[in-house]
Amino acid sequence: MNTLLAKAMSGLQFLLNRVRNLQETVAKFALSAQLDPIIDLVSTWQKMEFESWPALLDEVQA
């Protein structure tokens, strides 16, 4: 994974976790409609990263 993309994804995951915590503690803070596309994007990136590990490990072992 590109270093810049990894940093951006890590930061985005951190922010999403903070917003989720805020939503749990402050009932008036409702952003789920705005967060759903971002959560979907992060999930897609995580899935791509997870699925690429076998090929990356094969390259290292070869």
Q: Whole-angstrom Cα distance, residue 20 to residue 25?
A: 9
Condensed to tens digits (0 to 9), the pLDDT of residues 9-36 reads: 888 889 888 888 887 887 676 777 788 8
Confidence label for 51 from pLDDT (cuts 50, 70 and 90):
very high
What is the model's pTM? Answer: 0.62
Alpha-carbon distance values, 33 to 8, 25, 53 (Å):
21, 18, 32
The per-residue pLDDT for 14 is 92
Reply yes or no on whether the pLDDT at 2 is more than 60.
no
Is residue 52 a contact partner of residue 59, using CB atoms and an 8 Å limit? Answer: no
Q: Whole-angstrom Cα distance, residue 36 to residue 31?
A: 9
